[in-house]
Structure formats: structure tokens, C-alpha cells
Structure 1
């Protein structure tokens, strides 16, 4: 029995979507780059609009006895306010950061969930540039907050010099702490979210297309394997819903922790 070998497995190139209504391209380091508005760009705008409209409508009346929509909005706000604001940053400083954490969480969550919504089915934040933009914004915010409270030199000391440690060992620890707390944080923050969204969706594509190929392109003997691949596709899709929520939660939770460390009096 001869096996066909014309199946093309999915790869990172499948996430490089062409622009909508345009076909201008240019080469860069061996890759084809596109100019114009792409689907992920539109999804960013759509996610921002949906989050704004939903919570605006949910909070517009603010009745003493909330309706269903207001109740959902209040519970969503309380979840971010309490678990990622008050409990992490502390009761003294957390309220001024709640709007940012709240908007960030639901913006990321919705962009993640786009991966499983029919006719969209693309995780916006599987494009690294968009995630690094969010990480850079977070980096600016928590560093600016720390510098405002402690001063530039005081903040660098807070982030680079471990409390209670002195002597020659500081020559090793200070550069490591500086790299870890100032330089590396936005990179790891972005990579965690980007890599999970990319890998999860890549796995879904592999099982979906692989199952289709085994059922319709291979011999009948491979059909059960193709059906199994589709079953795994469905199971992984449900698992991805959990991952999408957890990655949004972890991203915002780490933001709250970084802010908490920036406003703390001791490292």
C-alpha cells in the first residue's frame, strides 16, 4: 500500500494573514511581509468595542436591584477588583489601578476567545507584535508608578538591591535583579501569552486538517484515525477555552504583582 505524502502540516506561516482588500507585500529576512489592515487588527478594534459597549450598557442604569446584565457586569468587575486588584496590590493603592486591570483582562480574554468563535477562529494575540505592545504598556505603567513614588534612583535600588543582603554577593545579585525586574519582565510576560495562543491554535489546526486528510485523501483504512483526530480536535478546543481564560488571568495577575512591587516600600 502506497502512502500519499502531499499533506502540508500547519506552521507559523499560517498566522501571517494577508491584508484585507490589499495585496502589497515586501520581503524581509526571507519572510513575506504584508502592508495594510489585517484580520487581527480588526479583531483588536472589535474586542475593544465589544468590551466598552457591553460594560457601558451593563452599568448604565445601576439599579439597586440589578437586572441580569447589570449583575453579570458587577460580578465581572468584582472579580477583577478583588482577586487581582485588592488582594495583590493592597487595599491602600489598588483602586487607581482597577480600571486598567479590568479593561486589560477582558480585552485579552475576548481576543483569546476569538480563536473558538465560529467565522472568526483566530487568536488575535497569537501575533507576537500585538502581545509585545501590551507588555510594553504594562512595563511603562508599573515602572512609572514606581519612579513616581520612590524617585528614579530609589526605584532602581528597590528593584535591584535585595533587602537584608550586603557584602560582595551584591556584585552578583544586583545585575541579576536588574535584568530580571527591569529588562526581562516584559519579554517573559509577552512570550507566555503569545506562545500559548500560538501553540494551542496550531494544535487545533493540525488535528482538524490532519483528520480531514486522513478521512478524505487517504485510504479507507485510515478513516478511524482521522475520526479520532477530529475527536481530539473537539476535546482540545474545550481545553483551549480554559487556557484562554487562564492566560488572560495570569497576564493581568502578573501586572498586578509588578505594580504591587513597584509601590511597595521594600523589595
Structure 2
């Protein structure tokens, strides 16, 4: 919880600092933030939901991306050393938020009965298969989508954390606890592993934030679109 609070405070502080110092001719920091926001807006929000519908959800989706990234990246920051999303609680809250948004807006768009029909009974399905398809779609809407959102993020962060712990522990063992000519060489290999896994974790932290945001946009679009 402390790591999450630190990540949240730093994220809000950075964004407030950039926003308050924003100028027509952007500084380097402002340029970086604007480039990231523009990229996400075009490639996550508008490309999935369209510009009209996308404007309704862009604040939520952009906040999700930046928040998840901040919670992910703490896994490689010295002194913090744990991804806040490596524990299932925050991931469940984020997944539940997406679920509530797409269900509520699907009902608003189609009405309660219309949304059930839209979600569970796609057109063109043979009558004999409709009960099976409806059951599968019911599981998707109610359980599978939010569960996979939460589990995908959590498991990726847990695995990354374990790999970092493993390489650090191995290097400490070879260099500190059992030093010898052979062990020093093995320690050099595991130290390279630390650098590799750390770089990989930066990539995964960004990728998982992007995937969570774009899947949230896809699920919202499936709920509000006219076609199944």
C-alpha cells in the first residue's frame, strides 16, 4: 500500500507540474507527456471507439494507462522493488471499473433488454446453438473479461518480480556469500541477467498498461456498438 501511495503521489505530482508549466512552445518534459497522450488518444481511444464516442472515455482510459504504468514500474525502482499491480487487489479494482463502465453504458445505449440481447444473442446463430452461445457470452461478459484483465496484469508483474529476485539473489550468492574464481564468473552472468530482466520489465510495464487500456476500450466498444 505504501508503494502504491508513493507511485500515485509521484504520478499526480509530475502531471500537475507539467500542466502548470505548460506553454505554447512546449518544454522537453511537456513534449514527452503530450506525445504519449496524443499517441494513446489516437491508437487506443479513437482507433477503437471512434472520435465521437472516444471523447467520452478518453480520460478514464488515459488515467488507467498512466496509473497502471506507475504501479508497474515501481517493481524496478530501488527502495520500492515491488510492482503494486503484482498483488491482485488493485488489478481487480481496475478490472471491475472497466466492467461497470461497459455494462452501464451498454444498458444506456441499448436498454436492459436490448443489451442482454445484444450481448448474448448475436444474429445469424442457428437456433440449436443459441443456448450454448448465450451461456458462453454470459460467462464472457460477467466473468471472463474482467478476470482476464486482472489476472493477465497480476501474473505478468509477479513473474517479472520473481525473475528480478532470482537474478539478484544468485548474484549476491556468487559474489558475496560464496566467492571463488568460478562463482565470480557465474555471478557476472547473473548480473547481466539483472540488467536484461530490468530492461525487460520496463518494456513489460509499458506493454501491460497499454494492453489493459486497449482491451478496456475494446470491451466498451463491444458494449455500445450497434453490431455484436
1:260 matched to 2:194: no
1:228 matched to 2:189: yes
Pairing partner for 2:118 from 158, 170, 175: 158
Give the corresponding residue for 2:138: 178
Pairing partner for 2:104 from 139, 144, 149: 144
Give the corresponding residue for 1:71: 31
Give the corresponding residue for 1:245: 206
Deviation at 1:61, TM superposition (A): 5.1
Relative CO higher for 1 or 2, CA cutoff 8 Å, sep ≥ 6? 2
Q: Tell me if the contact between 1:159 and 1:182 (Cα under 8 Å) persists in the aligned partners.
A: no
Superposed CA deviations along residues 125-158 of structure 1, whole A, max 9, x for unmatched, are: 1011121111111111111111111111211211
Pairing partner for 1:98 from 36, 53, 58: 58
Q: Tell me if the contact between 1:204 and 1:237 (Cα under 8 Å) persists in the aligned partners.
A: yes
Unaligned runs of 5+ in 1: 1-40
Unaligned runs of 5+ in 2: none
Alpha-carbon distance between aligned partners in 2 of 1:49 and 1:164, rounded to the nearest angstrom: 50
**Superposition pairs for residues 1-267 of structure 1, below 5 Å?**
41-60=1-20, 62-218=22-178, 220=180, 221-267=182-228
Deviation at 1:219, TM superposition (A): 6.0
CA change 1:83–1:218 in 2 (3 A) is same
Alpha-carbon distance between aligned partners in 1 of 2:29 and 2:184, rounded to the nearest angstrom: 46
Q: Tell me if the contact between 1:59 and 1:73 (Cα under 8 Å) persists in the aligned partners.
A: no
CA change 1:211–1:65 in 2 (3 A) is closer
- Aligned residues between the structures: 227
User: Going by fraction, where is helix more abundant, 1 or 2?
Assistant: 2
Alpha-carbon distance between aligned partners in 2 of 1:55 and 1:216, rounded to the nearest angstrom: 41
Question: TM-score, normalised to structure 2's length?
Answer: 0.93
**What is the Cα-based RMSD across aligned positions, in Å?**
1.6
